[in-house]
Structure 1
């Protein structure tokens, strides 16, 4: 009897750390890109709002890099998160391939890792044999909806230009692919593609180059609203306001006035605050169920809606 009591007491002691760990607040780190981009400001606001409503359930650290392409900066944030022994890492990657080794390191440290907004490269993930869940909309479908709407307002066989985001971003490619399909379906002509790297000034420069290359360009389909705003600036500088339709993507706050004035014809709202909430929810549910990385739900689709002028 004495031996049985000692055994039960030992088992109880072993269980205490597990119960304490299970009861502790998990630490969630969300790593964003381009903190100066209004889209990620909306995403940050969504994360903060969710945390304010669920403060007792988890601790939240929000961090990010100033430039869209700063992979090294994101890697440093991930390494800091690993050193803190955080439980959940959520990231909008600056590059869909280059960041993967750092994320694998985080998984190996025991963290649950979730991919938000800009999808990681599926082939690269398969090559590493790792499941990193994606939370976000179909960028292809959202861009195609914008393209379909803009191009319906044009004459047959009109010439259309595309301004794409960073070449290393899967969502940049998906949006351009959606625009290409809309152009093909409408029987329009793809006059050229230029890269604006998600930035306003570079979008303006890309639009200027396309407009000079094709003087009779009828529309510009842009991979995000920053570049669309830059394209609208280019039209004003070239005295072509109202003569070229512009499509954007993200529905950042500045777009409301531009859409109302019809300086931009349409954009897509992919609800960044909701994306952040869904990613945090997936991380917490997986943590509380004690799921491993491989057991996590592989994709959570969030909505994307057409916004018209």
Structure 2
């Protein structure tokens, strides 16, 4: 059985040679919010259902150096293919070079590395998600007001893209909206502290854009409640709230008329196609840029190919859609 654990081609059981399950490793950048926890748990479950032997997921806890060590260790333990979610898009590149040297294909999901050798990146178009959030806020405010943008970690492609998409949209379509933007590094405590400061010091604050409701929503709602500024959608004094992720909490807050809308990341599709491309990489399959058979587009960014999945906008009208990942999990 040790041969199977090490990802070798054959094991002997009952005197007969049998094909071993391919070994898959998962290197998480951090697991401090529900989105990432669900992503890891369900990705490993899906991989097992697709015939992989899975190693225990590693957690870099936001430490780029540790994630590099985690990838080395997963390969040393026998991983023949990796799924990763980088904690730092630039810092992960040497680990990808190591995996390529060891002939271990890598699929990145959710967050794209800035370079390196990859079989595929599976993510949403994060700049488009930022622009979608901007449109929701701009329309709700009638093009006038003050908006706080709680940015994610700008060392990640997701944080940068969600910021760029939002800001570009504001400049192009809503020039009369004043922007206050603060980095949170995907940290709930930082997001809450910043929201507390801005809500207290900005009496005419009109809206808050949260780049991750998984990290930021609970704290922001609590800040508004404590400041007696948590008014239902549509009532006078309501501060427009728009977020990205689509967690069960976010969907529940839409139902309660606390959250105006959310751009729902296709977490379930990250998992489905992350595992799909991992299997394809082991089989030596490659893919060309262009439309896919699952309503997305593969683009080439330098030498990196990305399957950019669509991300729906969720409002009160479609919050109960069973296809939303937030309606498919209790986590």
Counterpart CA distance in 1 for 2:91 and 2:9 is 37
Unaligned regions of 5+ residues in structure 2, if any?
1-7, 12-17, 232-237, 288-302, 317-331
Rg (Cα) greater in structure:
1
2:217 matched residue in structure 1: 228
Counterpart CA distance in 2 for 1:66 and 1:298 is 25
1:255 matched residue in structure 2: 250
Against the structure 1 CA distance between its residues 305 and 138, is the aligned structure 2 distance closer, same or farther, given a 3 Å change threshold? same
Structure 2 residue 99 is the aligned partner of structure 1 residue 106: yes
Counterpart CA distance in 2 for 1:170 and 1:48 is 24
Counterpart CA distance in 1 for 2:24 and 2:154 is 29
Normalization by structure 1: what TM-score? 0.82
2:203 matched residue in structure 1: 215
For these two proteins, the number of residue pairs brought into alignment is 281
Counterpart CA distance in 2 for 1:74 and 1:104 is 14
Unaligned regions of 5+ residues in structure 1, if any?
1-17
What SS does structure 2 have at the residue aligned with 1:289? coil
Structure 2 residue 305 is the aligned partner of structure 1 residue 298: yes
Which contiguous aligned blocks of 4+ residues in structure 1 show a shift greater than 4 angstroms? 18-23
Counterpart CA distance in 2 for 1:164 and 1:149 is 17
1:38 matched residue in structure 2: 34
Counterpart CA distance in 2 for 1:147 and 1:290 is 38
Superposed, which structure 2 residues align to 1:70-219 within 5 Å? 70-121=63-114, 125=115, 130-131=117-118, 133-184=120-171, 185-219=173-207
Against the structure 1 CA distance between its residues 178 and 290, is the aligned structure 2 distance closer, same or farther, given a 3 Å change threshold? closer
Counterpart CA distance in 2 for 1:289 and 1:132 is 10
When you count strand as a share of all residues, which structure comes out higher?
2
Q: Deviations over 1:36-92 (max 9, x none)?
A: 3111122124314423432xx32122413273x222332222111121231111110
- Residue 181 of structure 1 and its aligned partner are, at CA, apart by 2.8
Q: Deviations over 1:168-219 (max 9, x none)?
A: 1110111111221332313342331112222322211111222244321100
Normalization by structure 2: what TM-score? 0.77
Find 1:25's aligned residue among 21, 25, 33: 21
Does the 8 Å contact 1:220/1:244 carry over to 2?
yes
1:12 matched residue in structure 2: none
Counterpart CA distance in 2 for 1:19 and 1:155 is 62
Return the structure number with greater relative CO, CA threshold 8 A, min gap 6: 1
- Residue 279 of structure 1 and its aligned partner are, at CA, apart by 1.1
Counterpart CA distance in 1 for 2:178 and 2:58 is 35
Structure 2 residue 227 is the aligned partner of structure 1 residue 238: yes
